[in-house]
Amino acid sequence: MDVFTIGHSNRSLEKFLSILKGKGIEVLYDVRSFPTSRFVPHFSKESLSSAVEAIGIEYIWDGRLGGYRRFGRDVEDLGIAKCFKSQGFRAYATYLTTNPLAREAVSKLATICRSKLTAIMCKERIPWRCHRKIISDYMIAKGFRVIHIIDEGREVIHKLSKCARIVDGELRYV
């Protein structure tokens, strides 16, 4: 089963919608913590949801999967995921693998992806600069092939992060 990821970046709305339609995307799953944009207002939640639904794509926003997790604020540092140089990525990996709300949210995402072709969306065009890479590790653990859309005609197949392990079908970070 395939699942796509995409970062809206500074694309035009027309280009973004064209990419989604070209891939046959049925669900756009927004994992931004803050689904707004001052610089590209057409990617604000209200505008974007109307635009994608107008072309037959379901829009779902789930803030429980949003990034910007921080140790000491909403995540306890358990010393895992040390392969990530960024403390933010370490915090997000810890959050995704240990927080019950995050686990429930990512399980819901996987269920949707099993029945509808889904694109997981955030802001960053480049997936290795975005928490989508950690969500993608989880999706691989659940049996999905994850394809990152960089641009029209340019895609990258996700590979597990170097400290990610799949143990009995569950994602773990060392």
Three-state SS at 73: coil
Nearest to 16 by CA among 106, 114, 122, 128: 122
pLDDT at res. 37: 87
Mean pLDDT of 69-83: 94
What's the number of CA atoms in the CB half-sphere (13 Å) around residue 33?
9
* Residue pointed to by tokens 């709300």: 101
The answer to whether the beta carbons of residues 81 and 94 sit under 8 Å apart is yes
Convert the pLDDT of each residue in 5-38 to its tens digit: 999 999 999 999 999 999 999 999 999 999 998 8
Split at pLDDT 50, 70, 90, the class of 165 is very high
pTM for this one? 0.96
Nearest to 133 by CA among 40, 43, 65: 65
Ordered domains of the chain (ranges, CATH): 2-173 (3.90.190)
Convert the pLDDT of each residue in 105-126 to its tens digit: 999 999 999 999 999 999 999 9
Q: What percent of the chain has pLDDT over 90?
A: 97
